[in-house]
Amino acid sequence: MQFADYVAAAAFLSYLSAVNAWSPTNSYTPGKVECDADVNLIRKADGLAPAEAEWLVKREANTKDALKSFLDRATAKFSDNSLVDSIFSSATPRVGFASCGGGYRAMFVDAGVVAAMDERTVGANENGLGGLLQGIAYISGSSGGSFFTTTVTYNNWTSVQDIINQMKDGDHSIWDLSQSPLNPGGSDTEYTNELFANITESIQLKNEAGFDVSLADAWGLSYGYYFFPSLPRGGYSYQWSDIQDADVFKNGEMPLLIELAKVEKAGETSVDLSSTSIEMSPFEFGSWEPSIKSFTDMKYLGTEVNNGVPTTPGECIAGFDNVNFLTSASTNVINTLYNSGSGMYTSMINSFKSKFLPNVTTVGHIDVNIAAPNPFKGTTNYESDSSIVDNDQLYLVDGGIDGQVIPFTPLMRKERDIDLVIATDTTADTDEVWPFGSALVATYERQFMEIGKTDAFPYVPDIETIQNLGINKNPTFFGCDSSNLTDLAYVPPLVVYLPNRAYSYDTNVSTAVLTYTREQRLGMIRNGFEIATRNNFTDDPDFLGCMGCAVMRRKQEQLDLPWPSECAQCFERYCWNGTISNSDTTSIVSSSSANATSTSTGISSASANSTSEGFSTIHFETSTTIPCDECEQPQPTVMTTTIEEDCSDSATQVATMIECEECEEAEAYRSGSYNHYTTRTSLTTTTEICEECEEAKATSVPSTYSNNGNNNNNEANDFSSGSSGESSNSEGTSNNSASNGSEKSGNSNGSNGSNASAGSNASNKITSSAATILQVTTSAPSSTGVSVVLNENNGASFSVSGMLTVVTILLAGLQFM
Ligand SMILES: *[C@@H]1O[C@H](CO)[C@@H](O)[C@H](O)[C@H]1NC(C)=O
Ligand SMILES: *[C@@H]1O[C@H](CO)[C@@H](O)[C@H](O)[C@H]1NC(C)=O
Ligand SMILES: *[C@@H]1O[C@H](CO)[C@@H](O)[C@H](O)[C@H]1NC(C)=O
Ligand SMILES: *[C@@H]1O[C@H](CO)[C@@H](O)[C@H](O)[C@H]1NC(C)=O
Ligand SMILES: *[C@@H]1O[C@H](CO)[C@@H](O)[C@H](O)[C@H]1NC(C)=O
Ligand SMILES: *[C@@H]1O[C@H](CO)[C@@H](O)[C@H](O)[C@H]1NC(C)=O
Ligand SMILES: *[C@@H]1O[C@H](CO)[C@@H](O)[C@H](O)[C@H]1NC(C)=O
Ligand SMILES: *[C@@H]1O[C@H](CO)[C@@H](O)[C@H](O)[C@H]1NC(C)=O
Ligand SMILES: *[C@@H]1O[C@H](CO)[C@@H](O)[C@H](O)[C@H]1NC(C)=O
Ligand SMILES: *[C@@H]1O[C@H](CO)[C@@H](O)[C@H](O)[C@H]1NC(C)=O
Ligand SMILES: *[C@@H]1O[C@H](CO)[C@@H](O)[C@H](O)[C@H]1NC(C)=O
Ligand SMILES: *[C@@H]1O[C@H](CO)[C@@H](O)[C@H](O)[C@H]1NC(C)=O
């Protein structure tokens, strides 16, 4: 450990003990503490936690000045930037940052993006968005994003710059990933053995104290060594709620962190978009969603309760909210591996089980984070299905595994009244581990499902459009005009979407890569910086100003203030304006018009993707929206349009029909309070005439992902098999699609069409997986270094090299366990 590191650690430690912020047992084991005899640990999810509201006042005293000076800088070149003063004379914009998942790839890219917004980063004020982070009120994390957010939050809100300054290989500094969690000591086998023995002991003692444990405890404890290397045993006695006592938090000098986990129901082995999401804030643990609709006091998680009342009056449990345990819950993909159907993963997991849980009495559920006793037991705030609150245990898994890899939902909550959400997208959507927006589509669609009925999210296009318009390559703003969002449950924040792409470094590293050298880490972080700044403003010198406009937009709308011409130009450049560009009517559901009540025809004359052969790809699409009460007498509309240029002799006919069933269904989702809700329903039949066009399309389709809007588990896909991706389809609105849709789009026999609606993501990945083999070098404990070949799409579909991977990992694992 470096001297500076040591001093900082010592200071942090003495501070932690001074404020008494530590597990009562001073270890991983939760322990009994006194609490008020009449305490009730549960509150109904009907508003912000009082503690959060109180904290927000303190935070906003700081964000106000920070945002004001950021905006003064960002708009300095505007012909008239009086908008800044006008806004701040009566309001302060509220900004959130969503830290996307995707393993270490995500962690580093998120770090670079945040560094670009942090005034503490060298160069961020000259080349970046420096100061914006100081104006952010909330950050959220899921999966690999939680690796990042946990690290900075629970290291006294350290800066990425500080982490970089201390970064070395092999010294166990923060994010020293020169060795993988499978072999943390590298050639120092003694260290590895001691570390694993310590983890095994921690889990054993927690279990002996009466708490159910699983492999997820080991997962979290081993990652702790990478995030809190200066704390004893990687922070094994560090509590989530401890941050409440840190000055930097108490004084509102850092944002409030909310991480997400998903609830896996008893008897199920996976989660999907309809599963419940849990929010974990410094204050609370719980869910807004109808299956729970309650929050419990974070500090006393683990207490046996009935409807929030401790079963032993005056006695609570503390220390269950361990930082490593809850980060594990937000990042736990073990269950996906375990249930992938791959015998190899199963045996690997069983070997871990005998290593880390040798004498543990719990049976079953070794793959999930077990929160037990269930804090929601006996609660009555849930709306329908009581299965979660009835169970004695609560099972938690990775927050992004349902397809919502970007943790938008906590920041979209109406109660938090956020104006702008800045989000990264490091999802591994393509074979080459780049995003194409499946996470956006997932959260968009979820709002129309029962589980998401109290959420709103701006309209986004389908994934094919996202690719055709290059939305997945450059920053894009969604929900730019509040007036176009009035048909959602409420007007959601503006979204600034920052997709992962390469500038100075290929940041498309597989989730399965668990080691990074210092050079690689720095390369990833630097590229993240460039993503957030459009390559340090070389791609667009006005981007700084445009981000300023995004910060001010909702307040400008609310206060009805004049919109600077520079902002208007920015919005023309960066806002998705409702344009659709795809060839696949099955994806129409999420494409939508920008205004859901109006009938809009999104004709992408962008048909204009001419190939070198001179063919035109015809994209044609109709989206019709009708109010539900008109459903009684649907009036099919038929439109005929002739298309252009190279295919001037071709015509595309589009028949739009209206399906009443869909309306009723949608209405049911919205129940009572939104009875004026309307949905877009359309069936499109396209008849192609031009031969050349068919040909052009037929060749372009295989390289394109057609999405039916339900791209579950993209994160899991690149870890394992994507087998759960097959569970996709037909939640909520995603079924509006044409049953006849496969006949369009130049697929004479519709094979691609059907592929598209049956989890093609997974199958496409499998077929082309040979191209995505990565070399990862880890070192075996004793003998020579072993080159572990990880296949991006391993899991159920092992190629030969995939076999090698698991065998090697197993061997390596067994050797030093
Ligand atoms: C935490 O960070 C703040 C602000 O950077 C600093 O003043 C303080 O000394 C740090 N506390 C500890 C215990 O390191
Ligand atoms: C962008 O700026 C950052 C911070 O100053 C720097 O580290 C990085 O090298 C720059 N990138 C380019 C392409 O200039
Ligand atoms: C293991 O635990 C012991 C006792 O708490 C501690 O002294 C040692 O540093 C720990 N080692 C690791 C690698 O966690
Ligand atoms: C598990 O039980 C065996 C046999 O009782 C004992 O030798 C071993 O130390 C135990 N392991 C742990 C981690 O408690
Ligand atoms: C990353 O992207 C580059 C360029 O798109 C590609 O050549 C490379 O194969 C990709 N890497 C992975 C791991 O897929
Ligand atoms: C046109 O299609 C080609 C091949 O599918 C693709 O590489 C290119 O990005 C597309 N261009 C546009 C503007 O969509
Ligand atoms: C949507 O369009 C309707 C009708 O033009 C309009 O009343 C409403 O304000 C618009 N908001 C949208 C949906 O543009
Ligand atoms: C909407 O955006 C597309 C490209 O994304 C552009 O071609 C079109 O002109 C824009 N339409 C309007 C009305 O701004
Ligand atoms: C909002 O609606 C107007 C009118 O329908 C349209 O011109 C505009 O492009 C829409 N804006 C966005 C961002 O969708
Ligand atoms: C989706 O369509 C299929 C086939 O028409 C139907 O069986 C299924 O019930 C539909 N699902 C939903 C949610 O509408
Ligand atoms: C599909 O469309 C064709 C002609 O457009 C029609 O004859 C056929 O009945 C449709 N099939 C279904 C399942 O709707
Ligand atoms: C469907 O397309 C495949 C691949 O192009 C072709 O081999 C097959 O013969 C076609 N089937 C029919 C019924 O046209």
**pLDDT at position 78 over 80:** yes
Nearest-ligand number for the alpha carbon of 273: 10
- Is 296 near ligand 3, meaning CB less than 6 Å away? no
**pLDDT at position 732 over 70:** no
Mean pLDDT of the residues in the chain: 76
pLDDT at 338: 84
Query: How far is the centre of ligand 9, averaged over its atoms, from the C-alpha of 481 (Å)?
Result: 7
Which stretch of 163-167, 347-351, 554-558, 623-627 has the lowest confidence by average pLDDT?
623-627
Indicate the helix (H) or strand (E) that contains 486: none
Nearest-ligand number for the alpha carbon of 750: 12
Closest atom of ligand 9 to CA, residue 576: 13
- Is 653 near ligand 11, meaning CB less than 6 Å away? no
Which stretch of 108-117, 490-499, 567-576, 636-645 has the lowest confidence by average pLDDT?
636-645
pLDDT at 463: 95
Phi-psi region of 380 (alpha: psi -120 to 50; beta: other; left: phi over 0): alpha
- Going by C-alpha positions, the residue among 221, 96, 98 that lies closest to residue 148 is 98
Q: Give me the mean pLDDT over the 408-417 stretch.
A: 98
**pLDDT at position 813 over 50:** no
| Percentage of residues in the chain having pLDDT higher than 70 | 69
DSSP string of 314-372? TEEEES-SBHHHHHHHHH--HHHHHTSS-HHHHHHHHHHHHHH-TT----S-TTSEEE-
| Percentage of residues in the chain having pLDDT higher than 90 | 64
Give Cα 164 to chain centroid, integer Å. 24
**pLDDT at position 18 over 50:** yes
Nearest-ligand number for the alpha carbon of 696: 6
DSSP string of 360-404? ----S-TTSEEE-S-TTTT-----S--HHHHSSSEEEEETTTTS-
Query: How far is the centre of ligand 10, averaged over its atoms, from the C-alpha of 447 (Å)?
Result: 18
Query: How far is the centre of ligand 3, averaged over its atoms, from the C-alpha of 195 (Å)?
Result: 7
Nearest CA to ligand 4 atom 13: 201
- Candidate of 745, 751, 754, 767 to mutate for ligand 12, largest count of ligand atoms within 8 Å of Cβ: 751
Nearest-ligand number for the alpha carbon of 699: 6
Q: How far is CA 424 from each of CA 147, 242, 477, rounded to the nearest angstrom?
A: 14, 28, 12
Phi-psi region of 729 (alpha: psi -120 to 50; beta: other; left: phi over 0): left
pLDDT at 684: 29
Write down how long the chain is.
817
**pLDDT at position 347 over 60:** yes
Amino acid at residue number 648: S
pLDDT at 729: 30
Nearest CA to ligand 12 atom 8: 749
The most confident of 19-23, 624-628, 703-707, by mean pLDDT: 19-23
**pLDDT at position 140 over 90:** yes
Q: Give me the mean pLDDT over the 533-559 stretch.
A: 98
Distance CA(581)–CA(616), nearest Å, equals: 13
Closest atom of ligand 1 to CA, residue 15: 13
Distance CA(435)–CA(423), nearest Å, equals: 13
pLDDT digits (tens, 9 = 90+) for 21-34: 578 899 999 999 99
| Confidence category of residue 601, pLDDT binned at 50, 70, 90 | very low
Q: Give me the mean pLDDT over the 264-285 stretch.
A: 96
- Is 676 near ligand 7, meaning CB less than 6 Å away? no
Distance CA(193)–CA(816), nearest Å, equals: 7
> Which residues have C-beta atoms less than 6 Å from ligand 9?
480-481, 484, 575, 577-578, 594-595
- Which tokens is 648 given? 């001037």
**pLDDT at position 89 over 70:** yes
Nearest CA to ligand 12 atom 6: 749
> Which residues have C-beta atoms less than 6 Å from ligand 8?
469, 577, 579
DSSP string of 745-780? TT-TT-HHHHHHTTTHHHHHHHHTGGGGEEEEEEE-
Q: Are 734 and 581 in contact (CB under 8 A)?
A: no
Nearest-ligand number for the alpha carbon of 17: 1
Distance CA(713)–CA(398), nearest Å, equals: 10
pLDDT digits (tens, 9 = 90+) for 157-185: 999 999 999 999 999 999 999 999 989 99
| Confidence category of residue 361, pLDDT binned at 50, 70, 90 | confident
Q: Give me the mean pLDDT over the 307-320 stretch.
A: 97
Give the 3-state secondary structure of 278-302.
EEECCCEEEECCCCCCEEEEHHHCC
* More reliable by pLDDT, 729 or 772: 729
Distance CA(455)–CA(287), nearest Å, equals: 12
pLDDT at 642: 30
- Is 607 near ligand 6, meaning CB less than 6 Å away? no
pTM value surpassing 0.85: no
- Is 727 near ligand 6, meaning CB less than 6 Å away? no
Query: How far is the centre of ligand 7, averaged over its atoms, from the C-alpha of 631 (Å)?
Result: 19
Query: How far is the centre of ligand 9, averaged over its atoms, from the C-alpha of 578 (Å)?
Result: 7
Nearest CA to ligand 4 atom 5: 359
Q: Are 401 and 717 in contact (CB under 8 A)?
A: no
Nearest-ligand number for the alpha carbon of 213: 4
| Confidence category of residue 4, pLDDT binned at 50, 70, 90 | low
Nearest CA to ligand 11 atom 14: 740
- Is 635 near ligand 10, meaning CB less than 6 Å away? no
- Is 127 near ligand 2, meaning CB less than 6 Å away? yes
pLDDT at 341: 80
Nearest-ligand number for the alpha carbon of 246: 1
Q: Give me the mean pLDDT over the 302-307 stretch.
A: 98
Which stretch of 485-499, 524-538, 713-727 has the lowest confidence by average pLDDT?
713-727
Ordered structural domains, the chain, with CATH? 3-570 (3.40.1090.10)
Q: Give me the mean pLDDT over the 186-208 stretch.
A: 96
**pLDDT at position 379 over 60:** yes
Closest atom of ligand 6 to CA, residue 704: 5
Query: How far is the centre of ligand 7, averaged over its atoms, from the C-alpha of 630 (Å)?
Result: 17
- Is 248 near ligand 1, meaning CB less than 6 Å away? yes
**pLDDT at position 421 over 70:** yes
- Going by C-alpha positions, the residue among 683, 682, 616, 622 that lies closest to residue 643 is 616
**pLDDT at position 329 over 80:** yes
